[in-house]
């Protein structure tokens, strides 16, 4: 006994169309996951760089203030140390020294790989971190 389908049902190719739509959706979802992961990684990296640069700056105590017994932050040395840290990591940033606090703002641009197909080219990640020079042991 042989079973044959008649051409009257009109469903030839419907599975192929469904698979094509599902595949396109899977590619977009994979792109969303991959590019979102890249943005999250860049966010964490920028935060880490800004924090470490701020700490490097906050460690710059003026030698004369140490000898006088009242340690204070050397603003020029703090700015230079924070900038040198960012330069070693090939990243630009804004450094502000106010009193005993050093604030570093790092901004990086992430270019999308798969989501570029959707028309969006990328994202900008900005992180701000501060460090304060403390007195005492």
| 103 falls within a domain | yes
Half-sphere exposure of 70 (CA within 13 A, CB side): 1
Q: Give the Cα separation of 121 and 118 in Å (integer).
A: 8
Whole-number pLDDT of residue 120: 81
In this structure, what is the dihedral angle of CA atoms 109, 113, 117, 118, given to the nearest 10 degrees? -50
Does the residue 18 lie in any domain? yes
Please list the rounded mean pLDDT of every run of 10 residues in the chain (137 residues).
58 72 86 89 96 95 83 92 96 94 95 79 94 79
The total of structural domains in the chain comes to 1
2: left (phi over 0), alpha (psi -120 to 50) or beta: beta
What pLDDT is recorded for position 8?
Answer: 57
Where do we find the tokens 């008649």?
6
Residue 76 phi/psi, 5-degree rounding, is -65, -45
Whether residue 1 is contained in a domain is answered as no
Residue 137 lies in a domain: no
Whole-prediction pTM value? Answer: 0.76
């Amino acid at each position: 006994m042989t079973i044959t389908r008649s051409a009257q049902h009109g469903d030839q190719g419907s599975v192929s169309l469904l698979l094509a739509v599902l595949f396109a959706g899977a590619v977009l979802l994979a792109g969303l996951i991959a590019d979102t992961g890249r943005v999250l990684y860049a966010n964490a990296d920028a935060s880490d760089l800004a924090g470490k640069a701020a700490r490097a700056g906050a460690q710059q105590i003026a030698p004369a203030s140490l000898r006088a017994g009242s340690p204070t932050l050397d603003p020029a040395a703090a700015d230079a140390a924070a900038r040198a840290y960012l330069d070693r990591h090939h990243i630009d940033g804004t450094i502000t020294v106010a009193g005993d606090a050093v604030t570093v703002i790092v901004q990086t641009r992430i270019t999308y790989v798969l989501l570029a197909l959707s028309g969006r080219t990328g994202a900008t990640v900005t992180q701000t971190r501060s460090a304060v020079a403390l007195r005492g042991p």
